[in-house]
Structures are given as C-alpha cells and as structure tokens.
Structure 1
C-alpha cells in the first residue's frame, strides 16, 4: 500500500467547497480581462484584476454570512481603489505611500478580526493600492475606471451568491445521506461565521495591527536601502504572513511563502519568457487563479507557486517591463519581507505573551 504524502506537501483530498471557490475566483478574474482584451483596452486590466479578489472572501461560508463578507470586502476594495486612483493623480512621495500601506495593513488586521475573514488581513487591498497608485492617471479618467472597479465587485457579489440559486445550503451533517457525503467530499462543509463584535476592544488585535504597520514600513525601507525595486512586494509578504491575534503560528507560514514564491518565480519566468500574446496571458490568469484558490487554503506553499506568477502576469499585462529584474525583485523582496516579519514578531513576542495572558486571565476574574 503506497504511503500518503504529508498534508503540507499535498492535500489528502479536495472537497466540493474547494472546487466551487476556485471556479468562482477564476470566473471573476477571467471574465473582465477577456472583455477588456477583446475591446483592445488591456491598459485597464489593473482596474478589474484587483477588485476581482473580492471573490476570494466568504469561502465556504453559509450564504447569509457570505453576503455580508462579500459586501464588506467589496466595499473595502472600492475604497482602496478610490484612494489609489486619487494618489495616482497626485503622485505620493515614498514616505507618504509607505504610510498609507502601513495604515491599510493595520486596518486590515482589525477589520479581519472583527469579520473573521478568510483569508486574514488586507493582503490584496495593500497589493491593490501599491500597484494602482503607481499607474499615472489624469483626474478626468478616474470616474470611468472607478466605475469599472465597482462593476467588477458587483460581478463578484453575483457570482459569489449564485450557488444560492443552484442549490440550497446542505442540511446538518447527521441528515446528509452517507452516500452523498462520499460522492461529494465537503458536501456539508458550509460553515457559520462567528463574528467578533468586541475585536476592536481587544488589546492583542491592536498590538498585532501595530506590529504589521511597523513591519510593512521597515520592509519597504530595507528594500529601498538595498536598491531593489517593487518594494511593495515586501510589504505584501509581511501582510500575507502576519498571524491572527491570539495565534503565533507565523514561522512555518513565512517559510511556505518564501519557498512557494521561489518556485512561482520559475513558473512566471517560463510563462512570460515565451512572450505569448495577451489573450494567452489572460487565459493563464484564469487558470492560475483557479489553481491558487484550489490549493492555498490547504497547502500554503503550493498556493504560492501559482499566486506568484498570477501577480506577476497581472502586473506585466498592466505595465510591460523587463522580465529578469521583475523576477529578481519579486524573489528578493519576498525574502526581505519574510525576514523583517520574523524579526518584528520575535522582538514583540514578550509583549504579545503578556497581552495574551491578560486576555485569558482577565475574563476569569
């Protein structure tokens, strides 16, 4: 009998919820890109690619919870896209842009903890602001591009809730026929979300928000001091690997991020090095989005093997640039962001432990 691979190498099995989430994500990413490329407006890709990440939220949630999650996440993307476009019309200097990214990262911790988001944090919101604000924009162009972003968010809402029309939420596990559970792994996996209304009064959540803001700013400073480009990738790594409040599991996740990114850079190099036409890259974005959402919740390093070429391809479609420096910056910035996060987390661990102890002991008094 063959030995099964460990779960951190390959998931034991992928359930119906995993496949559904991947299909939703790929539709929301692919449809706007196909329309833009077909209309010869590839220059607008950046204004749909990031709002399409709204589809990543609400994974596996009951529909009554998912609609709230999608509305909040979508509103966040509209707000971030608005701020980014405003910043693009009046270019920010380095310190101003860093301050905004650090603020978004900190706010993402608090909102995520309140909403109990999966994925946690403001990874995609930080990424969206960094890229969109770097694309020069005239004030009169803002309304049309913002409308495009809002339409993409609306598409994500419709696609995210489409399953409500196709099937009802499954009944509780005891009432699901055993044969149905075998036929559809994950059939009864839609979950109830327990929001945290008290999250913004939690000192641990505020401490983590402060840590991520400091780590984002420090990572950007280190990247720029060393002379590498695309410093926001270091910031995105920090936000993506930051642990939830009351959880300190970040070392393994950071390692997964670095390893997955290194392998993903090779995939991106092979794809973009062929210099395929735009329509091929658009199809690749859909496939990469599908694979990312399929695996990232199960095997984090494997998800990053796909999300890295996804991010690089979207950026390449928006602004064609030299490939080799782009790949090097992505890899080095990710490594720097991971190391900075580890340093900040280890330095703040004593205070985090005191706050965690107080959070546990105080309710018992």
Structure 2
C-alpha cells in the first residue's frame, strides 16, 4: 500500500476510534439505580464522618461495592447472587489483609485469589463488573497497614458494608421489579478448558504486575494489578489495543478533575458527599460510555484511597503515582491480553487440560 493510502487509512481508523470513544450507547437502566448505588456506597462514609472515623467508613464502603453485582433477574436470584458476592468479597479482603502481615505472600495470595475468583465468576456467569471488585478489594486489603489484633474489626466492617448494600438492593429491587420485568438468569454452557486457561493467564499477569510494582517500590501499588485486570479481560484482540487508550485518556482527564477536587479543602462530610456524587455519575455513564465513566472513576478511587487521611498527602504526588500505576498496569494488561487471545497458546492449553478436566 502506498504511504499516502496508509496515512488515509490511519486517519480513518482514528476517526472511527474517536467516534467510538465519544458515542453514548442507549441504556435501559432505571435512573433510580445509580441513586441507590450512590447511597449504598456513601452511607458508610457518612457514618464514618459522623463518628470522625473516615478510615473505618472507607473499609465499609468497599464492602458496599457488592451492590453493583445486582443482576436484573427475579428477586430471589438477585438476593442469592448478592449474598454470595458479599461472602466472596469478605473472604478476598480477609486473605488480602492477612497477606500484609507477610509481604512475601502478597503476590502468591493475589494470584491465588485472581485465579479462583476468575474461574468462579466464569462458572457462575457473574456479569459486569465480574472479578474486578473482588480482586481490587483483596489488593487494597494487602496494602492496609493494620496489626493482627485489628484484622477482625476491619473484616467485620467490610462485611457490614456489604450487608448494608444487600439491604439497599432488596428495597430497590422491590421497587424496580414493579417497573421492569425480570430477565431470566444466563444459562449458556461454560467451556472448562477455556475457563481454566483464562483464569491462569489472568492470575499470572495480575500477580506479575503486583511484583513489578513492588520491585519499583511504588507507593500504594495495588492500583497496578487493578489497571492490569481491567485491560487484560478485553473481549477481543482489537479491544486489547483500544481499551488502554480509552482508559489512559479517561484517567488523564480524571486526574485533572481530581486535581481540582484536591485543591479544595474538604472536611469529612464534603468528601463523603463528593464521593456520593461521583458514584452516581459513574453508574449513570458506565453502561453508556466507558471513557466518560473513567473520567469520574479516577477521582473517586483517589478520594477513596485518601479518605482516611483527608488528603494529608501532596496532591501532586498522588497524581503522579496514580498516572504511573495506570500506565504500568495497562502495559502489563496488554501483554497479558496478547497471550490470552493467542490461538496457538489456547490450543496448546486445550490439549493439556483435556487430560485433567472435562470439556463442560
């Protein structure tokens, strides 16, 4: 192809990707759902602000993320799914926070959690956000510096936040099911060979991303494996290259938003209400455009990480660390995604697992 035609093809590709990145997809989600999600995540923070213990409120707010796993199925299936997810998230946080006591175990524990949770989410047909928040909770727990005697309190707080989210989901579901009929739960068969292969690859690269972050001595390095996880699970080879660009662009704009928020002297109440508003915006946009949602995901995660200290850290250091974590995690996610979508590697793994596992 002549250079001129290659340049024109490249320009056409850029236009298509820009249109894709800015297109708003239609959504059938009730507007009350983002409101309920924001309340579920903000109530623990508001209680923490009332008692002047934002550090404890932040832990409970992590557990409230289980609200986002609510499917659009019948009430019984919804609540069963949420209770199982609440138990799983509590277990992941417990293993993560225990691994903090022995730093050498952080990477093996995170690999174990990632492999197990990824496989179970595939087998249980858990919809978005899938394994993301389970692994994020475990990674944050691994970087939560608490003594052994305080671990039961931390685990109990996260479990209470998850139960509060389940209660919120119950009342929301009673209301929502009167306006929207439930959908049947997914029933498509799962290929055990491919599930095992994907779980092992994802777990290996998520663990390797944490090991690399530790090797570089990055502060609060848990965001590196989280960024890696968000990229490596892209559904296609093209998405492996496109999704990091969307995430980096959204993160860069989100850092500017976060910078503006961090320049404001926020007390505990202001921070809790700000995070409530950000959660509402994220849950409104996430089903319509990932790039736009990432703009608000970035400041939310930064505020969530700094809520306990009410931004005693320099904003410039926080921005720099978050950008480095995202770039490093995206790079590891692309490398893992290339392995995940390698047809020859998949075929070899299929032959290997045929000796140990049934097909389905």
Q: Report the TM-score when normalising by structure 1.
A: 0.81
| 2:338 is the alignment partner of 1:346 | yes
1:92 is aligned to 102
Structure 2: distance between partners of 1:267 and 1:355: 46
Report the Cα offset of residue 251 of structure 1: 2.9
Paired residue secondary structure (2:265) = coil
Tell me which moved more, 347-356 or 322-331. 347-356
| 2:148 is the alignment partner of 1:136 | no
2:278 is aligned to 288
Aligned equivalent of 2:24, options 11, 36, 47: 11
Alignment of 1:185-264 (within 5 A): 187=180, 190-195=182-187, 199=190, 202-243=192-233, 248=237, 249-264=239-254
CA shift digits 1:123-159 (9 cap, x unpaired): 2222222223323323333333333222211111111
Structure 1: distance between partners of 2:37 and 2:201: 30
Tell me which moved more, 301-310 or 126-135. 126-135
Structure 2: distance between partners of 1:142 and 1:227: 25
Give unpaired runs (5+ residues) of structure 2.
Answer: 1-17
Structure 1: distance between partners of 2:176 and 2:290: 30
| 2:27 is the alignment partner of 1:27 | no
Tell me which moved more, 116-125 or 28-37. 116-125
Paired residue secondary structure (2:133) = helix
1:140–1:166: structure 2 CA closer, same or farther, 3 Å change rule? same
Report the Cα offset of residue 6 of structure 1: 4.8
User: Contact between 1:207 and 1:352, CA under 8 Å: does it hold in 2?
Assistant: no
Paired residue secondary structure (2:96) = helix
Paired residue secondary structure (1:40) = coil
2:257 is aligned to 267
| 2:73 is the alignment partner of 1:61 | yes
Paired residue secondary structure (2:33) = helix
Structure 2: distance between partners of 1:42 and 1:80: 22
CA shift digits 1:289-331 (9 cap, x unpaired): 1111111122111111111111110111124423222211211
Give unpaired runs (5+ residues) of structure 1.
Answer: 171-186
Report the Cα offset of residue 227 of structure 1: 4.7
Paired residue secondary structure (1:203) = helix
1:211–1:157: structure 2 CA closer, same or farther, 3 Å change rule? same
The number of residue pairs the alignment matches comes to 333
2:325 is aligned to 333
Structure 2: distance between partners of 1:24 and 1:55: 9
Structure 2: distance between partners of 1:78 and 1:195: 27
1:20–1:150: structure 2 CA closer, same or farther, 3 Å change rule? same
1:257–1:147: structure 2 CA closer, same or farther, 3 Å change rule? same
RMSD between aligned residues: 2.8
Paired residue secondary structure (2:31) = helix
1:153–1:284: structure 2 CA closer, same or farther, 3 Å change rule? same
Structure 2: distance between partners of 1:266 and 1:137: 32
User: Contact between 1:253 and 1:300, CA under 8 Å: does it hold in 2?
Assistant: no
1:39 is aligned to 51
Aligned equivalent of 1:48, options 51, 57, 60: 60
